[in-house]
Amino acid sequence: MATTTPPKPVANLDEATVRFCGDSGDGMQLAGTQFTNTSALLGNDVATFPDFPAEIRAPRGTKAGVSGFQIHFSSNEIFTPGDTVDALVAMNPAALTTNLADLRDGGILLVNQDAFEKKGLGQAGYETNPIEDGNLDKYMLHSVPMTKLTRLAVEDCGLSQKEADRCRNFFAMGLVFWLYDRSLEPTLRFIDTKFGKRPEVAQANTSALKAGYHYGETVEAISTQYHVAPAKLPPGTYRNIVGNQAIAWGLLAAAKLSDKQLFMGAYPITPATAILEELNKHKNFNVLTFQAEDEIAAMTSTIGAAFAGSMSVTASSGPGIALKGEGLGLAVITELPMVVINVQRGGPSTGLPTKTEQSDLAQALFGRNGECPMPVIAAQSPGDCFDIAIEAWRMAVEYMTPVFVLTDGYIANGSEPWKVPVVSELPKIVIDHPGPLADGETFSPYERDEKLSRPWAIPGTPGLEHRLGGLEKEDISGNVCYDPNNHEHMCNLRAEKVAKIADSIPLQQLDGPESGDLLVLSWGGTYGACATAVHTAQAEGKKVSHCQLRYLNPFPKNFAEILTKFDKVLIPELNLGQLASVIRSTFLIDTIDLNKMQGKPFSVAEIVSKINSIVA
């Protein structure tokens, strides 16, 4: 479409953060995802934070139903979705009132003017209309009649008014795409694949998208366009990846690398379900997905599949993991290899299903009856979920043990550019099943190798018939045994075996000097905020280093020594100090804790200010 208006000035930025927010029916997740993919394709580094409403069917227009998606995109390497927002798109008053606090002063505010009517304002608790009463003067407010303009744009497509209104998010997207100088192409392709079967809907969304873009081009009130140049990432092929998708792909890769069939036993639970769903898309990778009747069956079917000789996995979140506890004990005592994924969410009990937290570390380390050691590892970012899945399976088969993988709602739903690995360069996982035995030879299912690992004998192998079970087993023979000394010996062996995994994991790396005034010690999804905060402190000349723990049980061999090299240790956690209490009791050192229990990740500023309060 030819435009008569002259091009507007373009300002160059290093980075920007945009948040789309609206009612959960407004398609904000889709808008955010499209903006992310487009920015990633453009070569920006990106980090995202989708924020889902706690209630799926909250009444329309209420604060409980607000859904948001934040994207931080940059021409430099970034690790977090951004503390404050440079541009906020609010589709209704409820979205505005719940999100405005994060918009920086002077930031761009795009609102759907048509939604700011009496009912909507009332639901959001506004007595006067904020877009008219001057209360938004400190922002660059653009009040756009998005509903009206979208209806006009799609007029010829033959949609009902309700359907037409559903295209509003594409109008908003188009406007923001123009604002940040992004191409419409990826979204047009997306529309084609997604709505190809309903050409009238595809046409309407395309029209709405373009109308939004042209609105930005032509309307005088929006005077500047912004440009964020591509980031200088290491060379390679990239794609955008979401954490849960990455972990599913990591599982697929691990199964291929070990030449195994992949079995997943799972029960739907937020925020882990997407892993089950993703694997279901890839049955052609020899994937069996069993949606069990409950979490207990999800766990115990996983044990059955491990006994069968498959690569066996279950994924859940805190309350589900609690139900799996008894099964995990059986997995530990039968010493069968499997991967158990906990995508952590706010607890206790049902807690905050859609919000993030790191409060299941203690559960992973200690949440079973008896002396029941399990290795625990944690992913640090969406893309890292891929690697962690492969590493978990390597540990599981090398040491014949269930392995806990911790991620959280924040990295599971967040996304980042992911450097596509070269498949031939991924490490093979070698598995040796013992072969058939001749008549007369006896098989000892609990005889161990130098790693203290027992043989993985699978049904169907002649001569290796044996019985596993939850009763204590005699060393070597594996027969049921109530001998007190044997029990103590077996408990020690199981603990020793898990401790020995430290022989097979990399030494702990530090970001920063090997000694100093302060060590910021983090694990899991707090990585990005901590890394960024420590870089800030280091740039100010502070003697601060960052240690991101990937292996939480066992710890890397050099970890104890690292702790002694710093005057103080700061542990930021989205819990009330779970890693801190392990560090204190294991290494007998003092720690400074920074805890947050708001269902939200740390902002960089929170960590920076804590660092500044410790190191002048």
Partner 1 sequence: MSIETPLPVLKPADFASDQDVRWCPGCGDYSILAQMKKMLPTLGLPRENIVFISGIGCSSRFPYYMDTYGMHSIHGRAPAVATGLKTCRPDLQVWVITGDGDGLSIGGNHLMHCIRRNMDLNIVLFNNRIYGLTKGQYSPTSPLGKKTKSSPMGSIDNPLHPLSLAIGCEATFVARSIDTNIKHLSATLKRAADHQGTAFVEVYQNCNVFNDGAWEYAKDRKSKAETTLELEHGKPLIFGKDRDKGIRLNGLEPEVVELGKGITEDDLLFHDERSPEPSLAYLLSRMRYEDGFPEPIGVFRSVDAPRYDVQINEQVEQSIKEKGRGDLEALFNSGDTWKVT
Cα–Cα dist 218/215, whole Å:
5
Could you tell me the smallest distance in angstroms from the CB atom of residue 296 to partner 1? 6
CA distance 570 to 394: 31
Pairing between strand 338-344 and 287-291? unpaired
Our CB check for partner 1 shows the closer of 122 and 230 to be 230
Which of 70, 302, 526, 591 touches partner 1 (CB under 8 A)?
Answer: 302
Can you read off the two tokens belonging to residue 208?
């709405």
Going by C-alpha positions, the residue among 26, 22, 93, 24 that lies closest to residue 58 is 24
Contact assessment for residue 186 and residue 152, using Cβ atoms and an 8 Å cutoff:
no
- Should residue 465 be labelled a site residue for partner 1 when binding is judged by CB under 8 A? yes
471 counts as binding partner 1 under rule CB under 8 A: yes
- Tell whether residue 303 is a contact of partner 1 (CB under 8 A): yes
The minimum distance between CB 422 and partner 1, in angstroms, equals 8
Binding region for partner 1 (CB under 8 A) out of 65-73, 169-177, 256-264, 371-379: 256-264
- Least distance from partner 1 to the Cβ atom of residue 399, Å: 20
Q: Does the footprint of partner 1 cover residue 18 (CB under 8 A)?
A: no
> Is position 464 an interface residue for partner 1 (rule: CB under 8 A)?
yes
Residue 207 or 301: the one with the smaller Cβ distance to partner 1 is 301
Stretch in the footprint of partner 1 (CB under 8 A) among 164-172, 292-300, 363-371, 592-600: 292-300
User: Could you say whether residue 261 binds partner 1 (CB under 8 A)?
Assistant: yes
Would you say 57 or 189 has its CB closer to partner 1? 189
Residue (9 or 235) nearer to partner 1, CB? 235
- Segment contacting partner 1 (CB under 8 A): 111-119, 201-209, 306-314, 365-373? 306-314
Whole-angstrom distance, CA of residue 532 vs CA of residue 546: 10
CB-based contact 288:313 (threshold 8 Å): no
Using rule CB under 8 A, residue 39 touches partner 1: no
Give CA–CA dist 548/531, Å, rounded. Answer: 8
Query: Which of 13-21, 246-254, 340-348, 583-591 is the region at the interface with partner 1 (rule: CB under 8 A)?
Result: 246-254
Footprint of partner 1 on 186-215 (CB under 8 A): 186, 189
326 lies in the site for partner 1, by CB under 8 A: yes
Q: Which is nearer to partner 1, 388 or 505 (CB)?
A: 388
H or E stretch including 209?
helix 199-218
If the CB atoms of residues 442 and 585 are measured against partner 1, the closer one turns out to be 442
Burial class (CB in 10 A: 0-12, 13-18, 19+), 47: buried
* DSSP conformation class of 449: -
Say how far residue 167 (Cα) sits from the centre of its chain: 29
Q: Is 106 in the site for partner 1 (CB under 8 A)?
A: no
Q: Which is nearer to partner 1, 287 or 505 (CB)?
A: 287
One of 200, 307, 568, 581 touching partner 1 (CB under 8 A)? 307
Report the site for partner 1 in 476-495 (rule: CB under 8 A).
Answer: 479-480
- Note whether 337 and 300 are within 8 A (CB): no
Q: Which of 24, 206, 312, 381 binds partner 1 (CB under 8 A)?
A: 312
Nearer to partner 1, 330 or 521 (CB): 330
Number of chain positions touching partner 1 (CB under 8 A):
71
Please give the Cα distance from 168 to 147 (Å, whole number): 6
Residue 238 within binding range of partner 1, rule CB under 8 A: yes
Q: Which stretch binds partner 1 (CB under 8 A): 81-89, 157-165, 299-307, 580-588?
A: 299-307
Q: Does 460 bind partner 1 (CB under 8 A)?
A: yes
Q: Which of 60, 214, 227, 282 binds partner 1 (CB under 8 A)?
A: 282
Among 362, 359, 361, 332, residue whose Cα is nearest residue 346: 359
Dihedral sign computed on CA atoms, order 130, 134, 135, 141 = positive
Helix (H) or strand (E) holding 15: strand 15-23
Site string (395-424) toward partner 1, x via CB under 8 A: -------------------------xx-x-
Asked if 445 contacts 457 with a C-beta cutoff of 8 angstroms, the reply is yes
Residues 6+ apart with CB under 8 A from 79: 47, 381, 527, 528, 529, 531, 532
- Three-state DSSP at 417 gives strand
To the nearest 10°, the Cα dihedral for 62, 63, 66, 70?
150
Kindly state whether residue 369 participates in binding partner 1, applying the rule CB under 8 A: no
Kindly list the distances between the CA atom of residue 558 and the CA atoms of 405, 433, 503, 523, 564, in Å, as whole numbers in the listed order. 22, 33, 11, 16, 11
